[in-house]
Amino acid sequence: MTQTILCIDMESVLTPELWQAVAKGFWVEELMLTTKDIDDNKKLMEHRLKYLNENDITYSKMQEILSKVDLLPWALDFLNRARDKMQVIILSDTFIQLGKPFVQKLWNPTIFCHDLIVEDDKIVDYKFRIQDQKTQAVKRFKQLNFKTFATWDSFNDTGMIKEADAGCFFQPGKKATDAFPEIDIANDYEELKWYIDRFMEE
């Protein structure tokens, strides 16, 4: 029997956008940008580090803000139902130092993400796992003979959706849908569950 993996993003799919939560917490509009706005992760992170430094936002202050952020409504329920049918791996461009508390709230699924470099309570740099880690992870799962279903929300996620055996956007931005009209869209967890169930029946 072929084993199946659900490869799922974290921010905007299971949790709010973490950097936007920080932006709102400190009233720094420049931190509201996400991969829906800047699809180059390196440029986006350079932008974020600049405004963290300019506004004297420390790592511990960020953690304090994020400790008050909850999962998206029904995210845990959806994930638990998915885990009854397949393995689940979060593939995210978040950073483990920011994402770990939310992974715990999701009952500890495996997460592949990046690292922040923190010195004296300041985020001074970042380290990406590898280039385009999401697409590369999906590709390796397929080489290990897993069936893969992928779901993410933004323009920079199209590589892994196309690499997977099947997949869809989840509440994507207009930039993504305009550029890739051929990719299915789930507007809520029930629609996402329907796409997954259809895939499992194939």
153 is catalytic: no
Greater model confidence, 158 or 33: 33
9 is catalytic: yes
SS3 197: helix
pTM across the whole model:
0.90
Q: Which fold has domain 4-14+72-115+125-201?
A: Rossmann fold (3.40.50)
pLDDT digits (tens, 9 = 90+) for 38-78: 878 889 999 999 999 999 999 999 999 999 999 999 999 99
The dihedral over CA atoms of 92, 123, 70, 8, expressed in degrees to the nearest 10, equals: 0
State the DSSP string of 12-52: TTTB--HHHHHHHHHT-GGGG--TTT---HHHHHHHHHHHH
Question: Is-contact 69 16, C-beta < 8 A?
Answer: yes
Please give the pLDDT value at position 1.
62
Please give the pLDDT value at position 175.
78
The CA distances from residue 159 to 135, 163, 165, 180, in Å, are: 6, 6, 12, 11
Question: Is-contact 168 189, C-beta < 8 A?
Answer: no
Per domain, the residue ranges of the chain are: 4-14+72-115+125-201, 19-66
Side chain identity at 80, as an amino acid letter? N
Mean pLDDT of 83-93: 94
Mean pLDDT of 23-43: 89
pLDDT digits (tens, 9 = 90+) for 191-202: 999 999 999 987
